[in-house]
Amino acid sequence: MFKVVNATGGYGKTTIIRNVSLEVKSGEVVALLGRNGVGKSTLMRFATNLIPPMEGHVEIDGNPAPNSPAKRAKSGLGYVPQGRFVFPRMTVIENIAVAAATNGHDPKKAVEEALADFPMLRPKAHDLAGGLSGGQQQVLALARALAIMPRILLLDEPTEGVQPSIIDEMAGILKRINRDRGIAILVAEQNLDFCLSIAERAYVMEKGEIRMETDRDALLADKELQQELLGV
């Protein structure tokens, strides 16, 4: 349902990712693995049209994805960039309401759903987002992405700088939304345990290219690859 085809892109004249193709099928959770700087975030930016393609394209449900980040969001592509982007001077519920309204959804309903999905945000509902802890902001960023009612969700290093208890909670939420709402997920990560707990399949990137495609069982069995990905 979501495909990146022969993606080549980068910044200015510098090519960072080369000829990258990957697919996330309906209802799948897929991990994008690789060490620091291999181009995972750049691929996410290519997928969301935040950087223009040098070559290649993106397909959603077999159709070319629209050529603007906003239209891609409206066509069902949710995205949580690295660094947990939230509006710091808006409250938690304003953050969620704005994301929903901008994409043509009922803000009140989106806020109710988000607070049901993410109970940890309830006591913080009227607090400014900028005052939340890093982990809470990451959960809010996820709630904002879900408020656009995506069918595919791209997550860029959601566990970075987040405490273990919140990481566990996040994994539970992602498994639930994938199972109950059929939202497909592509998650770029360095946290292997987190990935192995939610994703059944993975692509491994190296120097801007896809080095291999693997699945959870093969990855669990391949200690050498695990060490390599963890950089130890």
Ligand X SMILES: Nc1ncnc2c1ncn2[C@@H]1O[C@H](COP(=O)(O)OP(=O)(O)OP(=O)(O)O)[C@@H](O)[C@H]1O
Q: Among 30-38, 69-77, 91-99, 135-143, which window interacts with ligand X (CB under 6 A)?
A: 30-38
Does position 210 interact with ligand X (CB under 6 A)? The reply is: no
d(C-alpha 47, C-alpha 66), whole Å: 11
In terms of DSSP bridges, do strands 201-206 and 29-33 run parallel, antiparallel, or are they unpaired?
parallel
What are the tokens at 145? Answer: 């992405």
CB 208 within 8 A of CB 39: yes
Interface with ligand X, residue 11, by CB under 6 A:
yes
Name which position in 19, 26, 37, 176 contacts ligand X (CB under 6 A): 37
16 binds ligand X (CB under 6 A): yes
Which two three-digit tokens encode residue 26? Answer: 């309906």
Q: What does DSSP say about strands 29-33 and 55-60: parallel, antiparallel, or unpaired?
A: unpaired
Residues 152 and 26: their CA atoms lie apart, in Å, by 8
Note whether 40 binds ligand X by CB under 6 A.
yes
CB of 86 to ligand X, least distance (A): 19
Binding residues for ligand X, how many (CB under 6 A)?
11
Rounded (10°) CA dihedral 195, 197, 203, 209: 10
Query: Is residue 84 within the footprint of ligand X (CB under 6 A)?
Result: no
In whole angstroms, what is the distance from residue 129 CA to residue 114 CA?
15
What the block records as the tokens of 171 is 């994994």
Supply φ then ψ for residue 190, to 5 degrees.
-110, -15
Select the span of 38-46, 55-63, 94-102, 141-149 touching ligand X (CB under 6 A): 38-46
Near ligand X by CB under 6 A, which window of 31-39, 106-114, 122-130, 210-218? 31-39
- Pick from 42, 49, 191, 214 the residue near ligand X by CB under 6 A: 42
Phi, psi of 148 (to 5 degrees): -90, 5
Using the contact rule CB under 6 A, the part of the chain among 37-45, 93-101, 143-151, 171-179 near ligand X is 37-45
Among 39, 76, 78, 135, binds ligand X (CB under 6 A): 39
Q: Which is nearer to ligand X, 37 or 182 (CB)?
A: 37
Contacting ligand X (CB under 6 A), which of 9, 34, 78, 150?
34
Residues making contact with ligand X (CB under 6 A): 11, 16, 34, 36-42, 82
